[in-house]
Structure 1
Amino acid sequence: MRGRLALLAAAVGVLVLTAFLVPLALLVRDVTADRATVRATADAQSLVPVVGTADPEIVRLTVEQLVAQSRRPVSVFLPDGTILGAAAPRTPAVELAARGQSLTAEFDDGREVVIAVQRRADGIGVIRTVVPAAELTHGVTRAWLLLAGLGIVLVLVGLAVADRLARSLVGAITDLSTVSHRLANAELDARVTPAGPAELREVAGALNHLAGRIQVLLREEREQVADLSHRLRTPLTALRLEAESLRDPADAARVTAAVDGLERAVTGLIRQARWRTPTAGAAVCDAAAIVGDRVAFWSVLAEDTGRAVTLDLAEGPLPVGVPADELEAAVDALLGNVFAHTPDETPFTVRLAPDGGHVLLTVADEGPGMPPGTVRRGASHGGSTGLGLDIAQRAAEASGGSLEVGTGPEGGARVLLRLGPPRSPND
């Protein structure tokens, strides 16, 4: 933008100076030629009294004296055909002057000035002088060079002024762009200092106001999520008391463990809602341990519903760049979909294995499969919230992986959750 503004200023300056300097240069040329012609005419007219009254010898001496002074050829044509002074042919201009008409004519070597002298008793005499082309343009080249130099200086000054203005504009716009990118990268404390023209200062103020509103809205949303999550603690406490009152110690332990897991998830949700900056870049957990633990948890429900569970778990540890609570939520979402969207006694398979630099989790069932468009936040075809697959997808993408939903070899649904390796905090 700065270069374009400078180019625009240069183009405008050149056009304006051209429109001003070209006519001025032509005027200088014409004025110089006219002044030379006026001087030559005045010299020739100074001979009129002598040519009109004196004898030829005096006229000759006077002409020679004038030629020596003006260094310009002067000729006097007498009525009897005598030519005094510089030898010159009788040009058409001289013939017109011999009829009584004085004039100035152009020719190849310059201008000729002819003056008719009608005071002689023997007829009309003619005084002719020539203004050479060098005299007509004397000093014009230097004047043109001065004008050209003045034009170049003015263009350079205009470029300097335009560059200074463009620098202030571009600097203000660059600051706006930098702050907007910082806001896009979740640096919500970024602010821009209003600078530049009034319009840019207004945009800067609007951007700062927008950043403030984003902070307020995000803070309110986090507090609402945290409050909502905190409200779950009361029913969890009641559920824990109910679990502890069960007579069967095994059932009590199992339900208490489930309540503990749910309470950890709620605690993690509260903590995540109150965090201002994500820390997924430095998060790490053992996918083998997490998947094995969650499959064991869901296996109890699978046994109750007559589902056969096949677990193919690679030997751990298999570190991935996902926090443990997020990976637990993702695995629970995938396994929960199997129970929610397939009939009882539908077998399913869970596989976890290294896949290059990633870890691949596969959950496949022999149910009716998933229709297109399932992986979309809030979209559900089974009456649920539609957030399960979205939770899994966000966990995978946070680690640099991906989520794929398709159809397995047996015709049921197959979900591939590819998890990326742990990343250093500087990544």
Structure 2
Amino acid sequence: MEPPAPPHSSRLIVNCDAIAANFHRLSKRVTPAECGAVVKADAYGLGIDAIATALLDAGCRLFFVARLCEAQRLRPIVGSGSEITILNGLDPGSEAACAEAGFVPVLNSATQLAAWRGYARSAARRLPAALQIDTGMSRLGLSPDAALAAAGDPALESELELKLLMTHLACGDEPARAANSEQLRRFEAVAAHFSAVPRSVANSAGAFLPRDFHCDVARPGIALFGVAPVAAAEGLQPVVRLDARILQIRMIEPGTGVGYGLDHIAIAPQRLATVAMGYADGWPRSLGGKGAAWHRGVRLPVVGRISMDSLTIDIGGLAGDAIAEGDFVELLGPSQSLEDVARDAGTIAYDILTGLGPRHARFAIENGQMRAAHEGAAA
């Protein structure tokens, strides 16, 4: 399936049908818990419009973002019938905007809790909120003691409508770690004092832990995009394909250097192609000399350093007429997953996905049809 015109140097194709299938897979996995969707950072860099629409059409009604500006961007896409929870909670001074839009802030500290309660009193309104409990990650959340103090305050219920009580797993992607069970134990000890409030522990990795971790609401993120959060995850479909165009093909002689620093020196005649993909496009510089592109099932190793706008690959494994200037090679897709690239780059799939940047021409597959999406500055 070829994307439509106009011409472009690189193309990022997002399969929204696969996202919907992954949502259904995760929903089935955590049933009877309700499955939400984490779509922070512009849906992990892939474009909130198409992805949130696909999730809404798939039946998702609980959306999680990190910041108020993301919630404001999301609201017209998913409508007033969906609940939007802001994971980072309230920035100082944002209370009025959050309340007017009906967003659910996650109150992560005593300061945030006091500010939201104070605004509720001044507005003479009962406001929605979620409470996060720090059960051992030491990143965000009320201490268990602070949460218990809130639970024991009789004024809390008149000020806040608690929509969710949550915590976040530090080691969910390592199922055998005792820390997971210990965090769940600590969370349940506090949650028992909020008996009528829905509970949430499971992120993407937590969705593949035992059912005790699924609670009332699961909030997967990276798994929606086809990345297996644990080795045992099954049934997730890949979502992203990234292709880039060959700018030039050349043959070099033994002793010839390639790229900045001339880090690669040919030891024999070598057929090379320069590809329109660099670190300005989100392709990690660390892949120089060890990453690869693919074409017709053949791995084409990166040689030399990756530049801002280009990289060089060895195409000697292809027949002379198998590839030409102007053709595309695969960077992400059937031959090379996000996990493969992350492994070679010494990072994680989240880092690769969220860093892909705005220069690629963007396309979405919806109901089996490809259409142009936001194309950034692609040329």
TM-score by length of 2: 0.24
Report which of the two has the higher share of strand.
2
Give the number of the structure whose alpha-carbon radius of gyration is greater.
Answer: 1
Report 1 or 2 for greater relative contact order, CA contacts < 8 Å, sequence distance ≥ 6: 2
Report which of the two has the higher share of helix.
1
TM-score by length of 1: 0.22
